[in-house]
Amino acid sequence: MRVLIAEDDKPVASFVQKGLEAEQYAVDIAQDGDEAQFMVSQFDYDVAVLDLTLPRIDGLDVLKHIRESKPAMPVLILTGRNRVEDRVKGLDLGADDYLTKPFSFTELSARVRALLRRSSMPAEVMLRVADLELNRVERVVKRAGNAIEMTPKEFSLLEYLMRNVGRCVTRAMIIEHVWNLSFDTMTNVVDVYINYVRKKVDQNFERKLIHTIRGVGYQIGEEA
């Protein structure tokens, strides 16, 4: 799951980022409204955590932009504006939830999970490739009905592959989306984790789903 945090208060943004990353979300931070709108237009996020008091472009204008460009993306407003009028306006403009500062991270995390469960795109919650199933909210993987235990990073890698079923993804793309890092040509971490996931997903099955595209990257699907 990929989360956008639009928050200009660096300590708050860092606090939320570290908490969500500890729960195995990939997290991007936008420090002003202009950057938030750009990132929404360039990347696919599963949920946005949006402050209303942002520099350059106000949070409510960012919310309008999200609703116009990504109408199904869940948005949780996280703000110091605690007047009833502010809550009503935010919800009327399309926010899915509203949480005021100061806040408990456990509550924020629970609200994020609730938004993901209530998502209007159930097909995006459950990913399927042949007889392989991955539940993105419950974080359960099954093949042929049998549960597969995975580490958080293995799960994130498999999720990224399945979100791009039939498409070859490069090592650089995997590093950016799964590890949230810039690609280092000297690292073999992607190949190592691909082997971990391949053993769990394909080892006991005649039909292999994870394929190496030589010189390019990896692809998941019934045929490479």
Give the domain CATH number at 54: 3.40.50.2300
Q: How far apart are CA 71 and CA 181, in angstroms?
A: 28
204 and 134 both lie in a single domain? yes
**Domain shared by 96 and 134, yes or no:** no
113 and 7 together in one domain = yes
Domain containing 183 equals 125-220
- Last residue of a domain, which of 95, 117, 139? 117
- In the chain, pLDDT over 70 holds for what percent of residues? 94
pLDDT tens per residue, range 33-76? 999 999 999 888 889 999 999 999 999 999 999 999 998 899 99
pTM (2 d.p.):
0.64
Are 102 and 155 in a shared domain? no
Q: For the domain that residue 195 is a member of, what is the CATH number?
A: 1.10.10.10
Q: Averaged in consecutive runs of 10 residues, what is the pLDDT profile of the chain (224 residues)? A: 93 95 87 95 90 95 94 93 90 94 95 81 76 89 95 91 91 83 71 96 93 93 76
Residue the block writes with tokens 């053993």:
199
Number of domains in the chain: 2
Q: 146: which DSSP letter?
A: E
Q: What are the tokens at 7?
A: 């928050």
37 and 62 in a single domain? The answer is yes
Nearest to 106 by CA among 25, 23, 3, 24: 23
